[in-house]
């Protein structure tokens, strides 16, 4: 399989590439009609979110005509479509605020700008968010002010706000309708239950103290397992929530640091990771690990460091990766 | 081959298991039930037995499915079979030895041999220990059995060879139960009570905790024979007993508590799956769980655990548990639990899945937190659908973008200088780009360390390490440069400075630049009219000193403007001090010389007062022209030999002459006489 060329829209049986004029970071894929939202990464105020329509049948990926893209202040730190299949037009973005967008046929309307700060007109900067797929009204955001805010996005109000960690919170993931977990610069993975906001449980701490944990992914097919990545580390740490503090596995086959992880939406044993070594690896977690560690199942080499990876439940046969200013959809 | 329990009518079917429970609970070596013979009146003969003592060899022919808890039963069974085969071998010499006997005589330890031989004994009424026990209807406790008189205890010699030192017999259900142990135990009624109770009380389900390792804590130093009845089960083979995610049953020992015996409540650290409630259970199934981990040789501490719904007692054990934990997890890691690892018994336990608990191994947490986390886990795992074998990703290699993994050397793989650059930027620098946000408290965080590394080839708004010194410098600057507005410095918190300052720095600097320009102009103006004044020389010397000093101290990489502002500031202050003197000096010369130049936007306003001479106006216009100024309004008057000139002009093009230069030129003209 040869590497796709530099054309801006390339049709290849195995992968589809979209080349954008600026570096990309945030990616989101919606349910049918399948759309891919890509967020730019320019360190200025003016950024852009482009919405492309994706047809897995005809393997086309094109910007929606007329161009359905909108300006976004500052680079969006995360983009995500509404988890339910019934509202594929609702897109949320995080950054300086939590914003909701309604993607209509010809334009994207900002629906709301949600600010979780009572005291000031500015919101604490959001590093990430997650939309609860069991309870789609609920959306949790993580922020560098050490808090996690849970929103009721239908009403546009804050449901609750918790001080989650001692340092900045970098990622948040829902497990169940009322349970979420978060990772932070203090190096811990904590689980929270909205029914019992007084308590949280640390289920993992990075071995070198204060090594930030940058990303978190909760296996939605098998809620026992979570994966996380550390700063400057090539390891993907797999955790079992029933066995706190000890990781179940450490996947260590990347040649450089890992940038993104995503569990397979259709299988409980597979996880994909992508890193600075330009590779995206798909792993199958075995029942018993061999003595030399776990080897990945398959590998894809991109042209440059892969910064983002999305394996969406909307299109489980395709993995979206973003590197430099390209976005590729890879067939699994 | 028929088991002992089935051939005798008087013996309940599950007797062997009862015996097993009884003897294991007190950790004795064997238990035998002598039943009334059906053939001979009043005669006691072998009913059933359970061997719980040392084993010399263990035939490891068990299939993997057979759990350790069955080993004890199996051993007893094997011994019985051996006896039967030997018996038949004796009676019928021609017949080949029954192949079903898994053991052969040389495999047996002394105690096992004793047990085997016991099977051949019969007791007439009143004869021997069992006979007398039945006849009297009382318990007989024989210590020092090996030295007993053979009339009292007919097997005393046998006991000696097997080192059986204590034998107890008591009537039970029309027969006699005998228990023996290789240790010397003095008579203990409570023990008897316990044994009897355990024989009676076996309808409740059993829950076994799987502690992972044999060296399990404080139990070891407790004398199992002491008054405090010790009920614990310990599993020395965690791997074999590793259940899948959910199933375990609980052993409820309410019966024991009724006896008033001290029941030690303990909670072992185990693999994190326990069920919360006792459950009604099939006796068959629970037995298999009761009898666990019988292992040859090694220390076996077997007892049951009393599980309390309130796990508060567990905390004391958590210290000890930590060792067990690591082992448990090691084991667990070896077998990442899979749903397919099923077991007949587990099927019975599916319904228990709904309440799963886990105990945290973190010692920092209170027992309270354990409870909370357990609740969380139960809600997560209970609500999730039963783990089904998900179809693995089907690979159509020809169509997939992914290649199969090959274990190649990764030495020459791509490794960028700054790793996770974009990710770090998204998390660390981008959030700081937003203007005006207020943080609750932003301490010096690790993020800044990484940000420093990113700085090298960043185009983003620069982060400067070492905020504090910078902050202080900015404050000093603010105090010195009057035009810097308060707004730029409205800090809610000193420590939030960094990311407010991203934007405010710009305004601070621009204000500084403005001020500095003004000062520069002033300096030049004053310099040019101080040719003959000493002050200037002094100031200049000071200026030079200042420059040296500042350049020495100034180790930070700042823009030149900044530096100049420092220098100029100092200088300006000096000049300010000298200025009034200057002003006074000038009029004393007698000649009113005054040149004022001010620039408003693009318009330059020149006001001059100087002694009139011929062609002075021409010179002025000439000078202005050279400076690319276009005069559009001129007002002049010459009175008393003094020219008063007001001139408004505009810059011709883009080139803007600084105020100082204009002034300088005009001064020259004015002073020329």
For B580, the enclosing helix (H) or strand (E) is helix B560-589
Cβ–Cβ of A257/B420 closer than 8 Å?
Answer: yes
- pLDDT value of position B23: 84
Q: Is residue A331 part of a domain?
A: yes
Min mean pLDDT across B39-43, B66-70, B474-478, B496-500 is at B496-500
Largest CA distance in chain B: 161
How far apart CA A178 and CA A159 sit, in angstroms, is: 12
Cβ–Cβ of B422/A248 closer than 8 Å?
Answer: no
Residue of B nearest to A298 (CA): B404
Domain of A258, CATH number, reads 2.130.10.10
Burial class (CB in 10 A: 0-12, 13-18, 19+), B483: exposed
Cβ–Cβ of B369/A199 closer than 8 Å?
Answer: yes
Q: State the nearest Cα–Cα gap between B300 and chain A, in angstroms.
A: 26
Q: Cα A200 to chain center, whole Å?
A: 23
How far apart CA A205 and CA A187 sit, in angstroms, is: 5
- pLDDT value of position B362: 39
Pure H helices in B335-419? 344-348, 367-383
To the nearest 10°, report the CA torsion of B530, B532, B537, B543.
10
How far apart CA A287 and CA A284 sit, in angstroms, is: 10
Per-residue tokens: A242: 């029933």
Per-residue tokens: B245: 């995610």
- pLDDT value of position B187: 84
Range of the structural domain that residue A284 is part of: 219-332
- For chain B, give the percent of residues with pLDDT over 70: 47
Q: Which residues of A touch B447 (CB under 8 A)?
A: 144, 168, 185, 212
Cβ–Cβ of A242/B381 closer than 8 Å?
Answer: yes
Bridge partners of residue A247, in order along the sequence: A239
The reply to whether omega before A33 is within 30° of 0 (cis) is yes
Burial class (CB in 10 A: 0-12, 13-18, 19+), A147: buried
Residue of A nearest to B422 (CA): A307
Q: Is residue A165 part of a domain?
A: no
The single residue listed with the structure tokens 């934007």 is B503
- The number of distinct structural domains making up chain A is 1
Cβ–Cβ of A255/B395 closer than 8 Å?
Answer: no
Q: What is the mean pLDDT of residues B628-636?
A: 88
Q: Is residue A295 part of a domain?
A: yes
Cβ–Cβ of B401/A170 closer than 8 Å?
Answer: no
CA-wise closest residue to B362 among B322, B414, B330: B322
Q: Does A315 touch chain B (CB under 8 A)?
A: no
Largest CA distance in chain A: 56
Beta strands in B307-370 (DSSP E): 356-357
Q: What 3-state class would DSSP assign to B604?
A: strand
Q: Does A248 touch chain B (CB under 8 A)?
A: yes
In the structure, what pLDDT confidence band is assigned to residue B243 with cuts at 50, 70 and 90? very low
Closest in B338, B413, B433 to A43, CB measured: B433
pLDDT tens readout for residues A91-146: 999 988 899 998 887 777 788 788 766 666 667 889 999 999 899 899 999 999 89
Closest in B272, B326, B416 to A256, CB measured: B416
CA-wise closest residue to A59 among A20, A28, A15: A15
Q: Is the pLDDT of residue B443 over 70?
A: no
Q: Do residues B82 and B101 lie in contact, with contact meaning Cβ atoms separated by under 8 Å?
A: yes
Q: Which residues of A touch B246 (CB under 8 A)?
A: none
pLDDT tens readout for residues B644-668: 889 999 888 777 778 888 888 888 8
Q: Is residue A251 part of a domain?
A: yes
Cβ–Cβ of A125/B434 closer than 8 Å?
Answer: yes
Q: Is the pLDDT of residue B357 over 80?
A: no
pLDDT tens readout for residues B273-288: 333 333 333 333 334 3
Per-residue tokens: B218: 């404080």
Q: Is residue A241 part of a domain?
A: yes
How far apart CA B62 and CA B66 sit, in angstroms, is: 6
Q: Is the dihedral of CA A185, A40, A220, A163 positive or negative?
A: positive
pLDDT tens readout for residues B376-432: 888 888 765 544 445 555 554 557 788 888 876 656 667 777 888 889 988 888 888
Q: Is the dihedral of CA A268, A273, A279, A285 positive or negative?
A: negative
Closest in A127, A196, A202 to B431, CB measured: A127
- The ipTM (two decimal places) reads 0.88
Query: What are the angstrom distances between the C-alpha of A230 and each of A145, A188, A285, B260?
Result: 20, 10, 19, 54
Closest in A45, A276, A280 to B415, CB measured: A276
Q: Is residue A125 part of a domain?
A: no
**How many other CB atoms sit within 10 Å of the CB of residue B524?**
17
Burial class (CB in 10 A: 0-12, 13-18, 19+), A164: buried
Q: Which of A44, A147, A201, A236 to mutate to test the interface with B (most CBs of B within 10 A)?
A: A201
Closest in A175, A257, A287 to B336, CB measured: A287
- For chain A, give the percent of residues with pLDDT over 90: 48
Q: Is residue A291 part of a domain?
A: yes
Closest in B337, B401, B431 to A14, CB measured: B401
pTM (two decimals) = 0.46
Return the higher-pLDDT residue of B451 and B349. Answer: B451
Q: What is the mean pLDDT of chain A?
A: 87
**Helix-then-strand count for chain B, H and E:** 20, 13
Q: What is the mean pLDDT of chain B?
A: 63
Q: Do residues A237 and A183 lie in contact, with contact meaning Cβ atoms separated by under 8 Å?
A: no
Q: Which residues of B touch A145 (CB under 8 A)?
A: 439-440
Q: Does A269 touch chain B (CB under 8 A)?
A: yes
Residue partners of A5: CB distance under 8 A and separation at least 6: none
Q: What is the 3-state secondary structure (H, E, C) of B228-246?
A: CCCCCCCCCCCCCCCCCCC
How far apart CA B213 and CA B20 sit, in angstroms, is: 23
Q: Is residue A58 part of a domain?
A: no
- pLDDT value of position B159: 87
Q: Which of B387, B401, B447 to mutate to test the interface with A (most CBs of A within 10 A)?
A: B401
Q: Is the pLDDT of residue A222 over 70?
A: yes
Show which of residues 160-219 on chain A sit within 8 Å of chain B, judged by CB atoms. 167-168, 170, 175-176, 178-179, 185, 191, 193, 196, 199, 201-202, 210, 212, 214-215
- pLDDT value of position B471: 64
Q: State the nearest Cα–Cα gap between A66 and chain B, in angstroms.
A: 30
pLDDT tens readout for residues A254-301: 999 999 999 999 888 999 999 999 999 999 998 877 778 888 989 999
Q: What 3-state class would DSSP assign to A321?
A: strand
- pLDDT value of position B22: 83
Q: What is the mean pLDDT of residues A222-246?
A: 92
Cβ–Cβ of B420/A120 closer than 8 Å?
Answer: no
Closest in B407, B426, B446 to A77, CB measured: B426
């Amino acid at each position: 399989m040869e590497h796709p060329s530099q054309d801006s829209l390339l049709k290849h049986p195995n992968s589809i590439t979209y080349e954008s004029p600026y570096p990309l970071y945030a990616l989101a894929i919606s349910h049918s009609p399948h759309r891919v939202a890509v967020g730019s990464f320019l360190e200025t105020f003016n950024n852009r979110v482009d919405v492309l329509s994706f047809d897995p049948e005809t393997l086309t990926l094109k910007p929606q005509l007329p161009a359905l893209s909108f300006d976004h202040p500052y680079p969006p730190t995360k983009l995500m479509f509404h988890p339910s299949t019934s509202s594929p037009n609702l897109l949320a973005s995080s950054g300086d605020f939590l914003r909701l967008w309604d993607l209509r046929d010809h334009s994207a309307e900002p629906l709301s700008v949600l600010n979780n700060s009572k005291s000031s007109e500015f919101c604490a900067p959001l590093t990430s968010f997650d939309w609860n797929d069991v309870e789609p009204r609920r959306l949790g955001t993580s922020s560098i002010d050490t808090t996690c805010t849970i929103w009721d996005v239908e009403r546009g109000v804050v449901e609750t706000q918790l001080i989650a960690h001692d340092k900045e919170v970098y990622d948040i993931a829902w497990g169940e309708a009322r349970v979420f977990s978060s990772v932070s610069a203090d190096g811990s993975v904590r689980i929270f239950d909205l029914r019992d906001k007084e308590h949280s449980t640390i289920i993992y701490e990075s071995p070198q103290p204060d090594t930030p944990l940058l990303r978190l992914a909760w296996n939605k097919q098998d809620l026992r397992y979570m994966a996380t990545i550390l700063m400057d580390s090539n390891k993907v740490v797999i955790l079992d929530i029933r066995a706190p503090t000890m990781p179940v596995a450490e996947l260590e086959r990347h040649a450089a640091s890992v940038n993104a992880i995503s569990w397979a939406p259709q299988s409980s044993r597979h996880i994909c990771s992508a890193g600075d070594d330009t590779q995206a690896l798909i792993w199958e977690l075995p029942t018993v690990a061999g003595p030399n560690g776990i080897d990945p199942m398959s590998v894809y080499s991109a042209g440059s460091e892969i910064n983002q990876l999305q394996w969406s439940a909307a299109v489980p046969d395709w993995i979206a990766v973003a590197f430099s200013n390209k976005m590729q959809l890879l067939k699994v | 081959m028929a088991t002992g329990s089935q051939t005798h009518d008087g013996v309940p079917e599950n007797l062997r298991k009862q015996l097993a429970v009884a003897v294991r609970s007190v950790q004795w070596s064997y238990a035998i039930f002598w039943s009334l013979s059906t053939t001979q009146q009043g005669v006691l003969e072998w009913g059933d037995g359970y061997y719980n003592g040392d084993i010399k060899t263990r035939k490891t022919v068990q299939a993997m499915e057979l759990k350790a808890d069955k080993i004890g039963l199996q051993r007893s069974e094997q011994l019985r079979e051996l006896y039967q085969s030997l018996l038949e071998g004796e009676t019928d010499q021609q017949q080949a030895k029954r192949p079903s006997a898994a053991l052969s005589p040389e495999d047996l330890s002394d105690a096992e041999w004793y047990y085997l031989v016991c099977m051949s004994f019969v007791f007439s009424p009143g004869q021997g220990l069992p006979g007398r026990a039945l006849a009297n209807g009382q318990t007989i406790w024989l210590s020092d059995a090996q030295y007993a008189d053979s009339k009292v205890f007919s097997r005393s010699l046998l006991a000696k060879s097997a080192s059986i030192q204590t034998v107890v017999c008591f009537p039970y259900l029309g027969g006699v139960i005998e228990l023996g142990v290789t240790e010397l135990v003095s008579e203990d009624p409570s023990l008897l009570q316990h044994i009897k109770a355990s024989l009676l009380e076996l309808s409740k389900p059993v829950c076994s905790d799987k502690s992972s390792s044999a060296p399990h804590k404080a139990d070891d130093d407790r004398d199992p024979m002491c008054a405090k009845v010790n009920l614990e089960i310990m599993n020395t083979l965690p791997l074999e007993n590793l259940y899948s995610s959910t199933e375990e049953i609980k052993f409820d020992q309410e019966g024991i508590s009724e006896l008033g015996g001290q029941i030690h409540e303990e909670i072992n650290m185990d693999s994190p799956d326990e069920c919360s409630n006792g459950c009604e259970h099939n006796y068959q199934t629970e037995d298999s769980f009761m009898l666990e981990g019988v292992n040859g040789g090694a220390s076996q501490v077997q007892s049951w655990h009393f599980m309390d719904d309130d796990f508060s007692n567990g905390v004391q054990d958590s210290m000890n548990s930590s060792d067990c934990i690591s082992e448990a997890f090691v084991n667990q890691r070896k077998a990442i639990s899979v749903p397919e690892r099923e077991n007949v018994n587990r099927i019975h336990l599916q319904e228990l899945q709904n309440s799963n608990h886990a105990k945290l191994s973190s010692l920092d947490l209170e027992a309270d937190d354990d409870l909370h986390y357990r609740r969380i886990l139960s809600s997560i795992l209970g609500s999730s659908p039963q783990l089904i074998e998900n179809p693995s990703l089907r690979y159509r290699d020809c169509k997939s973008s992914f290649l199969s993994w090959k274990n190649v050397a990764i030495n020459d793989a791509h490794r960028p200088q700054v790793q996770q650059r974009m990710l770090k930027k998204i998390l660390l620098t981008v959030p700081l780009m937003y203007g005006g946000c207020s943080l609750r408290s932003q301490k010096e965080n690790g993020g800044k360390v990484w940000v420093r590394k990113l700085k090298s080839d960043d185009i983003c708004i620069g982060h400067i390490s070492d905020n504090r010194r910078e902050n202080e410098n900015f404050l000093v600057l603010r105090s010195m440069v009057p035009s810097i507005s308060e707004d730029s410095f409205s800090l809610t918190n000193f420590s939030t400075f960094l990311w407010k300052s991203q934007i405010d720095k710009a305004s601070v600097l621009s204000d500084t630049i403005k001020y500095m320009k003004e000062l520069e102009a002033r300096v030049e103006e004053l310099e040019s009219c101080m040719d003959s004044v000493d002050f200037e020389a002094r100031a200049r010397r000071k200026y030079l000193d200042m420059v040296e000093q500042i350049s020495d101290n100034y180790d930070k990489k700042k823009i030149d403007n900044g530096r100049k502002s420092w220098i100029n500031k100092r200088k300006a202050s000096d000049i300010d001090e000298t200025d009034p003197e200057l002003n006074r000096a000038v009029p004393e010369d007698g000649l009113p010389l005054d040149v004022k130049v001010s620039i408003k936007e693009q318009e330059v306003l020149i006001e001059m007062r100087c002694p009139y001479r011929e062609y002075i106006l021409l010179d002025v216009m000439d000078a202005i022209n050279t400076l690319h100024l276009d005069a559009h309004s001129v007002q002049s008057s010459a009175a008393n030999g003094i020219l008063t000139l007001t001139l408004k002009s505009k810059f011709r093009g883009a080139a803007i002459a600084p105020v100082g230069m204009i002034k300088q030129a005009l001064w020259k003209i004015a002073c020329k006489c």
